[in-house]
Structure 1
Amino acid sequence: MEASPLFSVIIPTFNRSHLISKAIESTLHQSYENWELLIIDDGSTDNTKNVVNSYSDKRIKYIYQEHAERSTARNNGIKNAKGLYICFMDDDDYYLENHLELFQNEIEKQKYPVKIFRNGFYFMDKGKLKKSKNYPLNSKVHPVRFWAFHFCSACTLAIHKECLFQNKFPTNYEYWEDTHLILRLLAEFPFQQIPSYTYIYSMYDEMGSRSVFNDGNLRKVCNKNIAAINDLFDASQDLLIKCLPKNTRQKLVSKKYQDYAEAALFYKKRKDSKYFFFKSLSNGIHFSLSLRYAYWLIRFIFSGVVYPKSKSID
């Protein structure tokens, strides 16, 4: 009988045949080799299938589905995964070669716990490679409280499959879906931050924030983010209440509007930026956002100073 892999790496993709090879090859080049790679093609109409099938490694599995967005594709990957731990990667990102090995070292040391492990990631900021925020070692802050206000990303995690039996990505929200799942998981299961940075988070013009702001649907997209936040707290309040202060929902909504106010101003959408700023204030004036309020006011009055780029604000 063929031994089960320790890791199932799940990559959802849609019409990214020109980018996905780097993600595949970064998995092939992992120093730890007991893995399977599930590429979930979310209804691509380009050459994705041929690109994937050009790799002869039997650990790579191609699964096609009708177009249903990223969360459904990821859940499909979870359903088909044979690994004990589930990992994710976006089709335009890649792993450093020790990404899985660092997880494996901790997992074997702890005798394969039902637990969530995380490596940090690198991202580009003004042309420079920078490190993500990591959960502080020996922190007394609950992981749910920490990651509610920092970008975690499912792609940085190795999640024991038992954690995902009753928890999936929300398929009715195309934004904030990572955080929606991650906060639910962290409220139930142990979490460990590995003090390493092994995931490379990319940005392409056709994806993420840039296309959103060029499409002119800012308020619609922002409202989808807010709806996802409210859905999480409506559906999981009993689970989250032990981990979070009572005003967390209001603070998250206010922060999300402020995120959009700043990003809209960067893309010279002044009317939208002003709208989002006052929506942020209407959900409470929070001390932790006070410097950002002041910074926005200065930028709004003296416009023309560029904000840092980011791949995504969801």
Structure 2
Amino acid sequence: MSSPFFSVVVPTYNRAGFIHKTIQSVLAQQFENFEVLIVDDGSTDNTREIVQAIQDNRVHYFKKENAERAAARNFGISKSKGIYITFLDSDDLLLPNNLSTAYNFIQTHKPEVFHLGYKLVDAPTGKERLPERAHNINEQILKGNLLSCIGVFIRKELALQNLFNETRSLSELEDWELWIRLAARFRFMHSAEVTSLVVNHDSRSVMSVDIEKIKTKVQVFEAFVKSDPVNQRVFGSRLKQTYASISTYAALHLAIAKAPRKETFNYLWRGIRLNPAEVFKKRFLVIVKFAIGL
């Protein structure tokens, strides 16, 4: 049997209620030359039984000790056989055109790394919206993580050389940190065609807020971005935009978590000092609203 063209890496942890629908969205692809690697990051529910009940030899299940999503994605990369690797969270969905669109894009542009468009879906209401429009990812990624792991495709050799940072305290920002590293080294190509859905629901991990973890996460993220010499050489002072964005990210989460107002505004003012354009973002108004209790 020939090697698959695509490897779809799906990290999962206690997502038994979502994982079947997610896998079926991959199996429904118009382009059929792929494999799906389900990396179970220590689930304690019946994820294994649900996955192993799927009768399709393109689906491969691996279980490992819990080490967060970055480690699970890296494990999937190490086991993959495809020419290109893409990532899918276990509560999100691919549209049937995802891999066919990616394949056609590859044939035309021969990219090292690229991204396809996606929509955000609110699970309770079914409402859909588009995220920030990408036009120059290599510059936009400095101002905030406009990408999701879903829709990113990386040539396997490049992925093996540029793995996700497995530092646990970086969890939920590990993808943005990697995209910045990749943008410093390669042209990050993009197609706006929508091929996937990011599903927002109450149990989604990025929805939870721990004040001390947020503060640590921001410090760790900024330290890793600063410590990469290629980031510094390529982006230089433009990284102030990144440090500003991560500061207002912290302010937003602290405001939502009802942290002491002084802490919230310290992060907010730092972000504005580093990049005054932060005041024009929707995030600024949301922070102020939550912080002052409107």
TM-score in terms of structure 1 length? 0.83
Q: Report what 1:276 is aligned to.
A: 264
Distance in 2 between residues matched to 1:149 and 1:116, nearest whole Å: 19
* 8 Å CA contact 1:251, 1:284 repeated in 2: no
Shift, 1:242, TM fit: 4.5
Q: Report what 1:198 is aligned to.
A: 195
Kindly tell me the number of residue pairs found equivalent between the two proteins.
Answer: 287
Task: Return 5+ residue gaps in structure 1 as ranges.
Answer: 305-314
**More deviation, 164-173/238-247:** 238-247
- 1:14–1:284 distance in 2 versus 1, CA, 3 Å: same
Higher helix share: 2
1:145 aligns with 2:139: yes
* 8 Å CA contact 2:119, 2:198 repeated in 1: yes
Question: 3-state SS of the aligned residue for 1:155?
Answer: coil
The alignment's C-alpha RMSD in Å is 2.3
- 1:152–1:102 distance in 2 versus 1, CA, 3 Å: same
* 8 Å CA contact 1:254, 1:281 repeated in 2: no
Shift, 1:17, TM fit: 0.9
1:246 aligns with 2:237: yes
Distance in 2 between residues matched to 1:40 and 1:253, nearest whole Å: 32
Shift, 1:171, TM fit: 0.5
Q: Report what 2:248 is aligned to.
A: 258
Distance in 2 between residues matched to 1:169 and 1:301, nearest whole Å: 33
Q: Report what 2:47 is aligned to.
A: 48
Question: 3-state SS of the aligned residue for 1:165?
Answer: helix
Task: Return 5+ residue gaps in structure 2 as ranges.
Answer: none
User: 1:24-173 maps to which residues of 2 (within 5 A)?
Assistant: 24-110=23-109, 113=110, 115-124=112-121, 127=125, 128-136=127-135, 139=136, 143-150=137-144, 151-172=146-167, 173=170
1:227 aligns with 2:226: no
Letter in 1 for 2:156: K
Question: 3-state SS of the aligned residue for 1:154?
Answer: coil
Distance in 2 between residues matched to 1:6 and 1:178, nearest whole Å: 23
Question: 3-state SS of the aligned residue for 2:277?
Answer: helix
- 1:241–1:19 distance in 2 versus 1, CA, 3 Å: same
List structure 1 segments (4+ residues) > 4 angstroms apart after TM superposition: none
Shift, 1:23, TM fit: 0.7
1:159-204 CA-to-partner distances (Å, cap 9, x unmatched) read 1112113110000121310011111122222322112111111122
- 1:274–1:160 distance in 2 versus 1, CA, 3 Å: same
- 1:294–1:218 distance in 2 versus 1, CA, 3 Å: closer
Shift, 1:301, TM fit: 7.7
Q: Report what 1:7 is aligned to.
A: 6
* 8 Å CA contact 1:260, 1:276 repeated in 2: yes
